[in-house]
Chain A
Amino acid sequence: MNPIFLSYTAKGRSNADRLRTALQENGIETWMDSEIVPGEHWGTTLQEKLRDASAVVFLIGPDGQVSEQQRNEATAVFRAEWGAQKKTPLIPVVTSEAELPPFLRQVPAIEVKDVEKGWTEAAERIKQSLSGAPVEVAVPSPGESEQKARLLGIWEFADSLSRSSKSSAASGTTGAATASGSSGYSRASKSSGRKS
């Protein structure tokens, strides 16, 4: 099994080290960006390690926040698995009760209640989830209705733009829907479209 990629925030570094030790005691190899040596290209190395990882553990910081770097790492995972048969498991590990972003809601988060002693149990649960045990969706999904409402909202917003440009055109204040040179579009407003 390839090493697990351990993703952590700067504030959660000490917790990451504890989890890493616990995982190693369970026979699970890990990789952290602290292993990058001088001369290695940071971005390229991260991409390679994420691509090859058997799973990515997201250790959520003590403040409950997912860092921008962690989001960038998730972006790299999603890009790498585009069209691939195998999806890389993303496993959130939390030390506080915080709402996780949607991309981390695919599996139940592993909660560490005792940040001094709870890492062994967390490592065992990670090992269990990697063994192929069935997982449940952690958060009840609002599902189709939320998507429907959002799409309707976007459609209505677009429609209101059409109506406001038509009424402005009628009052002679804008040049609604006029052609704009070599642009692929007309722009329903005063100023002309741009090429770039």
Chain B
Amino acid sequence: MPVPLFEQSVFINCPFDPKYQRLLHAIVFTTVSLGLVPRCALETGEADLRFQHILDLLQKSKYSIHDLSRFAGEGEANLARMNMPLELGVAIGLKLCRKRHRLVVMVQNVPEAKRKAADYEYHRFISDLSGNDPLRHQSTPQSVTREVYSWLTTLDEIVNPQPSGEAIFAAFPAFQKNLANHKKAALRKLIWNDVLKAAAESCPKIR
């Protein structure tokens, strides 16, 4: 089985619910378009325990992207999701101890109208991130592509030359269409492998 190189692996820590799906697809598509390999908990693993599987993937990835957009409480019990901050903590531990891990945090941007009052809202729920300004998106595939591209494109291991961010986003509809074809052909819900394959097939080619 081919194993992705540590230097080219990017662990993705984000929500997996249907509402976030297009944003996850934008992260995956941008990552693959730059020649890097997205890894995440949806990937098949050997470990019995889910958290062990995540630790394993994080250790095999030089880079990680963490979207903390869903910090607010949800549902009748008003519970916040803790898995993502937990995985961010592991990544920060790797960064500090191994010195070979780089990570970036994304948050949902504060709307312009509220900017003055709560410009750095994330400071209120994770103040220890001060000094590491997160990437801010507007919960759209375009803004997620822009932010992820702007960060990934400064890494040493991306394919050179690389497609522009605009070219990647322009190819995003073709990727979505290709995903739908994979789903139709498989007669089941999409699995992670389908997403990776569809991304590799659809990314903008460098001429």
Contact = CB atoms under 8 A, between A and B. Distances in A.
Contact of B193 (A72, A74, A188): A188
A58 to B, nearest CB: 11
B192 to A, nearest CB: 6
Contact of B15 (A147, A165, A196): A196
Contact of A184 (B1, B16, B35, B165): B16
A195 B45 CA distance: 18
B188 interface: yes
A interface, size bucket: 35 or more
A159 interface: yes
Given A82-B165, A150-B35, A157-B2, A196 B70 contact: yes
A164 interface: yes
Interface in B148-207: 149-151, 153-156, 158-162, 165-166, 188-197, 199-201, 203, 205-207
Contact of B84 (A72, A74, A196): A196
B121 interface: no
A174 B45 CA distance: 10
Q: Which 9 A-B pairs have the closest CB atoms?
A: A196-B81, A158-B196, A150-B35, A78-B150, A184-B21, A102-B160, A155-B200, A184-B18, A71-B154
Given A151-B200, A154-B196, 18 more contacts: A72-B133, A74-B154, A76-B150, A102-B156, A103-B153, A103-B154, A147-B205, A161-B193, A176-B44, A177-B189, A182-B18, A183-B18, A188-B193, A191-B48, A191-B50, A193-B41, A193-B42, A196-B70
A188 B150 CA distance: 31
Contact of B146 (A79, A154, A183): A79
Contacts of B70: 196
Contacts of A101: 154-156
A72 B154 CA distance: 8
A144 B205 contact: yes
B49 interface: yes
Q: Which of A176, A183, A194 has the most CB of B within 10 A?
A: A194
Nearest to A157: B2
A38 to B, nearest CB: 16
Nearest to B83: A196
A165 B200 contact: no
Interface residues of B, number: 64
A84 B199 CA distance: 26
Contacts of B146: 79, 82
B17 interface: yes
Given A102-B158, A158-B193, A189 B44 contact: yes
A172 interface: no
Given A157-B37, A195-B16, A196-B84, A141 B102 contact: no
A185 B207 contact: no
Interface string A117-133: 00000000000000000
